[in-house]
Structure 1
Amino acid sequence: MIAFVRGKFARKSPAVIVVDVNGVGYELQVSLNTYSAVADMAEGQLFTYLHITENAHVLYGFFEMAEKELFLNLISVSGVGASTARMMLSGMKPEEIVRAIVQGNARQLEAIKGIGKKTAERLILELRDKLGKQNLDTVMNQPLLAVEQDALYALMALGIAKPAAETALKKVLKISPDATLEEIIKQSLKQM
């Protein structure tokens, strides 16, 4: 099993990243979440999962181990294949998916392309307890998410488009994860 690949990003698109590892190019299927994390990077490491079927061997890449673990949990549910799990991780952030499942919010899951009512209910039924125990710190970390959400709303109220505000917030929170709401907003405005 290939646990991760580290090298130069030879080609990047929102769905596929080719990683050059000492002259060998590994094509990895990625979510939008992973793509946005590496979009500005020239090289780096991606955790991987090799999905083997009768027709193909597909390598999936993940920027964070938590995203890979969530992917593995999602594909363990009957009716959720690897491409559907990748679509889910592209449609929502991993912590949002976990929160929706743990809180039993089927409607939020149904908003993702390819997820119907029955699949959303099955995800909640099969993963609620498992994810609740594994990701207790993510679910308990609501205040941080609330501060991030408040900062996003404040930036949007100042007339900044949501995608630009989210990008600035991600940069600021990487640099200063413990910053106060005012500091986050000020630093985000400087990123514009």
Structure 2
Amino acid sequence: MFYYLDGTVAELQPYLAVIDCGGVGYACMTTNNTLSALKKGQRARLYTYLHVGENVFGLYGFQTQSELNSFKMLIGVSGVGPKAALAILSVGTPETLAMAIVTGDEKALTVAPGIGKKIAQRIILELKDKIAKEQSAVPMGGVSAGAFSTKATEAAAALAVLGYSSQEVSAAMKGIDAESLPLEEIIRACLKKMVK
């Protein structure tokens, strides 16, 4: 329904940002990362997700597309609701979430309040499977995943978690020395290219 809100930050509270768009204040539930980037009285753009359920009508806003994609991916996991997804994205970035999923690091997820070991394991299991299916179904821009190093393949999987297509990932990987860089640096370098 709403793609983004662009307006003045009218109010900031824990997990909530109110964006004034033409005299209407939209209350967006959000993460600590997005809140830290906002300043009351300044202009901001939040990418939004409208969550409609039984007796629930909630608007969620995020500073970046990758944070929004990560949120949508998390709430797609059975047993993970918007509140849990916000908690996970408030203690880490979309990049650290992707790393945790690709490497199977459940401890990185359990630091979020309300996220226990079982939920963390379910998130990793369901999203890792989803990534594996997407990667096997679509070759990396015409190049098989086997043509990439293991680190590059893991980085590609992490970027897929953030919602980037295999074509975007393949283009971003060009010119990056995946053999010598640590996994996080490969992901960061690709994200910088894709954000431009």
Could you state the TM-score of these two structures normalised by the residue count of structure 2?
0.67
Bigger mean CA deviation after superposition, 99-108 or 66-75:
99-108
CA separation of 1:9/1:40 partners in 2, compared to 1, >3 Å: closer, same or farther? closer
Q: Which whole-Å CA distance do the structure 1 matches of 2:61 and 2:158 have between them?
A: 24
* Match among 135, 138, 143 for residue 185 of structure 2: 143
Asked if 1 retains the 8 angstrom alpha-carbon contact of 2:7 and 2:19, the reply is: yes
* Identical-pair percentage: 39
Counterpart for residue 100 of structure 1: 100
Q: How does 1:156-175 map to 2 (within 5 A)?
A: none
d(CA) in 1 for partners of 2:187 and 2:38?
Answer: 22
- Aligned equivalent of 1:33: 33
Whole-angstrom CA distance in 1 between matches of 2:33 and 2:186 = 19
For residue 144 of structure 1, report the CA deviation from its aligned partner: 6.9
* Residue of structure 2 in register with 1:132 after alignment: 158
The alignment's C-alpha RMSD in Å is: 2.8
Q: Which amino acid aligns with 1:37?
A: A
Structure 1 runs (4+) deviating above 3 angstroms are 135-141
Displacement after TM superposition at 1:145 (Å): 8.0
Cα distance in 1, alignment partners of residues 4 and 22 from structure 2: 14
SS of equivalent to 2:78: coil
Structure 1 match to 2:145: none
Structure 1 distance, partners of 2:90, 2:59, is 16
**SS where residue 46 of structure 2 aligns?**
strand
CA-to-aligned-CA distance 1:60-95 (integer Å, 9 cap, x gap)? 000000000000000000010011101111122221
Q: Structure 1 residues 53, 68: closer, same or farther in 2, change over 3 A?
A: same
Give a deviation string over 1:5-43, Cα, whole Å, max 9, x none: 101111112311111111111110010011112237701
C-alpha contact 2:158 2:187 (8 A) present in aligned 1? no
Deviations 1:133-152 (A, max 9, x none): 61567997623789xxxxxx
Unpaired runs of at least 5, structure 1:
147-173, 175-192
C-alpha separation in 2, matches of 1:133 and 1:37: 22
* Count of residues in correspondence between the two structures: 148
Listed as ranges, the gaps of 5+ residues in structure 2 are 132-156, 163-168
| 2:29–2:58 contact (8 Å) kept in structure 1 | yes
Higher helix share: 1
User: 1:147-184, CA deviations, whole angstroms, 9 ceiling, x for partnerless residues?
Assistant: xxxxxxxxxxxxxxxxxxxxxxxxxxx9xxxxxxxxxx
Output the amino acid matched with 2:113: K
Q: Do 2:98 and 2:159's aligned partners in 1 also have CA atoms closer than 8 Å? A: no
Higher RCO structure (Cα 8 Å, ≥6 apart): 2
CA shift in 2, pair 1:39/1:95, >3 Å: farther
TM-score, length-scaled by structure 1? 0.69
